Amino acid sequence: MKVKRVRQKECQQCRHTKNTLYRVRERSDAPWQFVCKECLLPLRNGNLNYQYGGTWKSKKRT
């Protein structure tokens, strides 16, 4: 019997588990991190070096 793996990640800023996270980094030489929507905004606001690397979702689109 196959067990469905629950795909969840936690926001690296607020440590809350979210179904959707955003892969971002503050500068081109900073490590990538996964953050939630709430934590993305202050990170992105006014940051010209901010880079966006895609959206992670726990459920794949059908």
Summarize as ranges the residues that interact with Zn ion (CB under 5 A): 11, 13-14, 36, 39
Cα distances from 43 to residues 1, 26, 39, 40, 48, in angstroms, run 43, 7, 7, 5, 10
Residue nearer to Zn ion on the CB measure, 3 or 22? 22
Smallest distance from Zn ion to CB 60, Å: 22
Residue nearer to Zn ion on the CB measure, 3 or 50? 50
Give the span between the Cα atoms of 57 and 8, in whole angstroms.
8
Residue nearer to Zn ion on the CB measure, 23 or 62? 23
